[in-house]
Structure 1
């Protein structure tokens, strides 16, 4: 048994994918597995997504796409982030669809390889990637020339800035701009292929943005796009972070704990040493604010979180070296969740799960009887 591990419940992941797909029955679903499947493990999560009926997989970079193809995945796959010099010829060889965000980038793609299928991205107001303003008209014109030479346009898409704030006026503005961009494509004689705008948040709260395909990312892992976003979609967090206690000791009242004595015990108590820290992606900012789960009880993380260890106050609970402590999980039994660790760290749940690494081993569990 490893000393620390992130346990990923693939059954819960598959069920989340099915639940989200059911919210947009008229659209295809893309499961986003970028950043090592948000820290959950690219290959097993991608397989689970396909098993759950995901029509597409989505990754950010071409390197991620090629890594996914190396695992044996053969289904529809889109990537969307590439700096100059990206190996677009490899994308064509491995049947990876790429995204052009400007006329210049489309030229780079076509110069590297006669890519048979391509998607276009329009910046409708996020201010990141995608063709903005007059750049979109330039990209449409370039795409019209490319399709005349045999390139197939398979999709047009954009990304919302405030999808996790359903009432934000930017959502209406971006959706309207997206529709205008699609109309401009059609006016140029191009069929847009799959139109997609909705991320997890819009999938859950904005049916008008579902179009032909929805891109489900953080929600497939059972985590909300934002804890404050209202929704009634039943999702199960997929990852649990566990470790075995490396040391257990009884200490008196008045004992300082960890660097800087930011915590001093106020009673005789038992301290447990958890052998992971910010070297594994556990945020130091959670010092004095986070809790763990031990023997059916929440226990506080006390003292400064260090590079490779942290301390929990076990009170009078019986404990021994090698006993398992859970930092976060789905919360069903009362254990802390990744969202709570994010709040304790002053960040978002995305960062909590994608940032894990170091000595933490990824393990994947599934019950064949539950898979459908």
Structure 2
């Protein structure tokens, strides 16, 4: 690995513990740990192994390539579902890797059936119904119209329908009426599918927020994503502590330069920040090319992203640049080049969290961790957490 002046430390014991907590929140359901987007920036394979050790019996990915990468890494025991496809998707590769696939349109049913015929393998299919999110999935009337073709393909042995699923639009607002409204649409779709003679293995609707706050939609399987990595999907309801979660990622860097400047000195592009006294500036070698949000820049009326330095929390001073940002360390600063700074972590010691950066940038914590660039090395710690807890082959 090439040297880099920052790193993201990922605590695999925290991932394992988070999945254990999520399973306790949904005791009647299995847990699918969603590891899409490189496990929300935490590292696909190590995070998947830790989730399995915590009791997950399914893994979920958006892209087929992610699912195949899990299989190629030797993760063979759990079921893996992949769900976001466009025409031309390599369904044959997915079936060869024993990956479940989602069907969310008539074209995808045709493509999956063709792949099954070409490979001689029966495709395990989850039908995706749009219950109100208005995103990917079959409208309920489309689902009803497609069922005859689904049943013919199943009778042929090309597919086995093992699941029906959907996704919630407002689960992060637990009292929102759409949560129950979508549950009603989902229940009606279930009735339609089951009346047609389909015997489902799993029904799944709950994401992280619903896993934690809406037990009425847990069904047979819950699909937590961001909560697996210890971030609250409902920060307005409660932080990670309230749900038994621990943020798994700590982002840290080394100061590149430290220098004294006079009062009235402009800092970074456009001098959005100007020093009000003689002070010491520190340069942190991370920027928006590495995934830090430029919207977390600091200046008058706009507190920048928080950074922990020497036991105190400071804010980004001036604009976040492509590969660096500045801190006003104060006139009495004793820091030197090479000293550690923490951008976000667990918050246990009063330090900043990914949620704090999200608040500073006007976004969500999901974006803070998933946008962290591949340029920033991931260091996975507590590998002993990969020892299985009775669920899945994690060797």
Shorter chain as normaliser: what TM range?
over 0.9
Please identify, of 18-27 and 144-153, the stretch whose mean Cα deviation from structure 2 is larger.
Answer: 144-153
Report how many residues are paired: 372
What does residue 162 of structure 2 align with?
154
Match of 1:313 among 307, 328, 333: 328
SS at match of 1:30: strand
What does residue 392 of structure 2 align with?
none
SS at match of 1:216: coil
Question: Cα RMSD over matched residues?
Answer: 1.5
Match of 1:279 among 277, 289, 296: 289
Equivalence map 1:283-298=2 (5 Å): 283-288=293-298, 289-298=304-313
What does residue 338 of structure 1 align with?
354
What does residue 258 of structure 2 align with?
248
Match of 2:87 among 84, 88, 104: 84
Does the CA contact (< 8 Å) of 2:101 and 2:123 recur in 1?
no
Does the CA contact (< 8 Å) of 2:254 and 2:284 recur in 1?
yes
1:34 is displaced (CA, Å) by 0.1
**Aligned in 2, Cα 1:189/1:369: closer, same or farther, shift over 3 Å?**
closer
Deviations 1:104-146 (A, max 9, x none): 3111110122433111111111111111032110232222112
Does the CA contact (< 8 Å) of 1:103 and 1:142 recur in 2?
no
Distance 1:299 1:101 in 2: 47
Q: Does 1:138 align with 2:165?
A: no
Distance 1:267 1:370 in 2: 51
Distance 1:271 1:337 in 2: 23
Distance 2:139 2:25 in 1: 30
Equivalence map 1:202-281=2 (5 Å): 202-230=210-238, 232-281=242-291
Please identify, of 44-53 and 229-238, the stretch whose mean Cα deviation from structure 2 is larger.
Answer: 229-238
Unaligned runs of 5+ in 1: none
Unaligned runs of 5+ in 2: 299-303, 390-395
Does the CA contact (< 8 Å) of 2:16 and 2:385 recur in 1?
no
Distance 2:80 2:132 in 1: 25
What does residue 393 of structure 2 align with?
none
What does residue 353 of structure 1 align with?
369
Q: Which has the higher contact order (CA 8 A, sep 6+)?
A: 2
Equivalence map 1:27-106=2 (5 Å): 27-74=29-76, 75-106=78-109
Distance 1:361 1:116 in 2: 37
TM-score, normalization by structure 1: 0.97
SS at match of 1:120: strand
Distance 1:333 1:55 in 2: 33
After superposing on structure 2, the runs of 4+ consecutive aligned residues of structure 1 that deviate more than 6 Å are none
SS at match of 1:325: strand
Q: Does 1:180 align with 2:196?
A: no
**Aligned in 2, Cα 1:369/1:164: closer, same or farther, shift over 3 Å?**
closer
**Aligned in 2, Cα 1:90/1:260: closer, same or farther, shift over 3 Å?**
same
Does the CA contact (< 8 Å) of 2:140 and 2:189 recur in 1?
no
Distance 1:81 1:48 in 2: 24
SS at match of 1:37: helix
Does the CA contact (< 8 Å) of 1:182 and 1:192 recur in 2?
no
